[in-house]
Structure 1
Amino acid sequence: MILGYARVSTDQQNPAAQTDALKAVGAERIFTDKISGAKRMRPDLDRMLDQLRPGDVVVVTKYDRLARSLRDLLDLVEMIKEREAGFRSLAEDIDTTTPAGRLAFHVFASIAQFERERIAERTKEGLQAARARGRVGGRPPALTQAQKTEVRHMRD
């Protein structure tokens, strides 16, 4: 059986493009979560993993829909393998039911992790440069100094 998994990060996003692509490749059941990929506890992902049987194939449109970190991705694909099922990613044309597909999977997963780490580095560098120029980030204070003084006065 082909089981599809779709994920979007927020309730405002629509997984329709993912579900359409999964149906087009023959997914008989599609599990969908609306939650960040960084979160490991995803109800439909867990439900899908519980229902996996030997010979099943989990299909995603892109492998980052399954996991955000390399470690999490490798762990999830290993869980799928332990249940004697396969993993397939449409965008990267990866199919872990073949030796070449397993090799391609590990190469792509490593590149994706590298890319995320570089993005994090550039973000930190940008924030440091902004701070060096005197820019203060974050949310503006909710209370003015006069309001803070009044609150302290009322408390005392």
Structure 2
Amino acid sequence: MTTYEYGYARVSTTAQDLKRQLDWLESQGVPVERTYADKRTGTDFEREGLASVLAQLRSGDVLYVASLDRLGRTMHKVLALIAELREKGVHLVIGGAMTIDTRVGGPATDMALLMLGTFSEMELIFQRERRASARASREASGKSWGRPREIDRAAVLADLSDGMSVMKVAAKYGIGRATVFRIKSEAKGK
């Protein structure tokens, strides 16, 4: 029976780059045509690339992943996925600082998978806490959160022409001085 090597890479957003992971997969000898990737959050297990690679895997095949958190960020779902792969007879090779190869097997491999899954989920929890803390801090200081609102450029220009200082205009509209200067400069350019 012929066995194949597959690769899977994932980043959380479309702005992030897969290059480091794809380079690692290539260095492991995974053919480009058997490499699958997603640009979706790791908490979402309904990913097109992941579904495609899972559909291809057969007993004896090997799935390469640059790090365990690339499979997912929710420990119980990652562990369930690993169990599913084992039941199919698929081997998993996880790169990173502590390479894990389930072809070796044994209790040390099982423990390493559990530890990496735990640390991956802990990091996700810590990231959420940091974001919530930053959001609360900004809101407490009266600063806005999220996408900037539209600026009434005509009102800014009117206040400037009435003699209001750049500092006061910036404070009034909750924008930076550089933004006020840019609005002023763009108006002169027209």
TM-score by length of 2: 0.66
Tell me the equivalent position of 2:49: 44
CA RMSD, Structure 1 to Structure 2 (Å): 2.2
Matched, 1:53 2:44: no
Q: In structure 2, how many angstroms separate the alpha carbons of the residues matched to 1:34 and 1:123? A: 21
Tell me the equivalent position of 1:81: 86
Q: Identity percentage over the alignment?
A: 32
CA contact (8 A) 2:13 2:40 kept: yes
Following superposition, the deviation at residue 34 of structure 1 comes to: 2.9
Following superposition, the deviation at residue 38 of structure 1 comes to: 2.9
Structure 2: gaps (5+ residues): 153-190
Q: Deviations over 1:98-133 (max 9, x none)?
A: 121121010111122112212222322232233222
Alpha carbons of structure 1 residues 113 and 57: separation in structure 2 relative to 1, 3 Å? same
Counterpart selection for 1:134 from 133, 137, 142: 142
Matched, 1:95 2:94: no
Q: In structure 2, how many angstroms separate the alpha carbons of the residues matched to 1:80 and 1:19? A: 21
For the residue of structure 2 that corresponds to 1:138, the secondary structure is coil
TM-score by length of 1: 0.78
For the residue of structure 1 that corresponds to 2:64, the secondary structure is strand
CA contact (8 A) 1:86 1:95 kept: yes
CA contact (8 A) 1:94 1:102 kept: no
88-97 vs 8-17, greater mean Cα deviation: 8-17
Q: In structure 2, how many angstroms separate the alpha carbons of the residues matched to 1:11 and 1:108? A: 25
For the residue of structure 1 that corresponds to 2:30, the secondary structure is coil
For the residue of structure 1 that corresponds to 2:10, the secondary structure is strand
Q: Deviations over 1:59-100 (max 9, x none)?
A: 111112111221231122122112111211110311233121
Structure 1: gaps (5+ residues): 145-156
For the residue of structure 2 that corresponds to 1:108, the secondary structure is helix
Structure label with greater radius of gyration: 2
Question: Which of the pair has the greater relative contact order for Cα pairs under 8 Å at 6+ separation?
Answer: 1
